[in-house]
Structure 1
Amino acid sequence: MTDAPGTYALLLQNEERQEIEVGALGAMTVRPGVYVYVGSAFGPGGLRARVGRHARGDGALHWHVDYLRAATALEAVWYTHDPERRECTWAAVLRSLSGASVPVDGFGASDCTCPAHLVRFEAAPSVSTFRTRLRGECPDHEMISRFEP
């Protein structure tokens, strides 16, 4: 992972039911399972800086995911240095996978019209299935890598 821009997905594991506050979204029930949050990093420091911040789990609670990250464990990161903004497409593909559910409408999607950029699964989705589905939507998509912190 470099400081180039790109799109990423955080795979966050939760072991027990919790109630958290998510900024202006309000209360959220976090059930056991895997939460996949999709974001992009097109600012200074690119993917390395943004994913590094999420991996550390420190800093001010700025984005919706910061609140969820404080209550979950980061298991893996999927990412691409594709120069196109792909987070809405990634979120749509994740929502289409078997077993996907949207835990909170609008989570992570305050600057677009997507239902949410957060998807919950009972168990982690397969990165190979995700790649295959994504290639169907974006045949010119750059390679997706997996990183485990």
Structure 2
Amino acid sequence: MTDAPGTYALLLRAGEERIIEVGALGAMPVRPGTYIYVGSAFGPGGLRARVGRHARGDGALHWHVDYLRAVTALEAVWYTHDTERRECTWAAALRALSDGTVPVQGFGASDCNCPAHLARFASAPSFDTFQARLSERCPDHASVERVGTNDLL
């Protein structure tokens, strides 16, 4: 992962049930399972800076995902250095997976018309299945990579 821009997905594991407050969205129930948040990094420092911040889990609670990240463990990151913004496409591909649900309407999607940029799964979906769905929706998509938390910290 470099400082080039791109799109990323954080795979977050929740181990216990709780309710969290997510800024203006209000109360959000967090159930055990895997949450996948999709974001983009087109500012200074690109993917390395943005994903690094999420991996550390430090800083002010600024984005919706910061509130969820405070109560979950980061397990992996899927990312691309595609120069086109792909957040909405990635979020739609995740929502289309069989057991994915949208836990809170509008999560991470305050600047678009998507239902959410967050999906919840009982267990993490397959990277290969995600890539296949992405390819169906967007054949010209750049390659998608994945890294575990040990490679981020």
What is the CA deviation profile of residues 64-91 of structure 1, one whole-angstrom value per residue up to 9, with x for unaligned ones? Answer: 0000000000000000000000000000
Q: Which amino acid aligns with 2:61?
A: L
What is the CA deviation profile of residues 17-39 of structure 1, one whole-angstrom value per residue up to 9, with x for unaligned ones? Answer: 01100000000100000000000
Which segments of 5 or more consecutive residues in structure 2 lack a partner in the other structure?
none
What is the CA deviation profile of residues 29-68 of structure 1, one whole-angstrom value per residue up to 9, with x for unaligned ones? Answer: 0000000000000000000000000000000000000000
Q: Percent identity?
A: 77
The secondary structure found in structure 2 opposite 1:67 is helix
Partner residue in 2 for 1:89: 89
Q: Which amino acid aligns with 1:97?
A: L
Q: Which amino acid aligns with 2:145?
A: S
Q: How does 1:55-94 map to 2 (within 5 A)?
A: 55-94=55-94
Deviation of 1:6 (Å) = 0.2
Q: TM-score, normalised by structure 1?
A: 0.99
Partner residue in 2 for 1:29: 29
The alignment of Structure 1 onto Structure 2 pairs a total of residues equal to 149
2-side partners of 1:33 and 1:132: how far apart? 22
Which segments of 5 or more consecutive residues in structure 1 lack a partner in the other structure?
none
1-side partners of 2:84 and 2:114: how far apart? 17
Partner residue in 2 for 1:109: 109
The secondary structure found in structure 1 opposite 2:146 is strand
What is the CA deviation profile of residues 100-127 of structure 1, one whole-angstrom value per residue up to 9, with x for unaligned ones? Answer: 0000000000000000000000000101
Q: Which runs of 4+ in 1 moved over 6 A?
A: none
2-side partners of 1:98 and 1:56: how far apart? 31
1-side partners of 2:13 and 2:5: how far apart? 25
1-side partners of 2:87 and 2:22: how far apart? 20
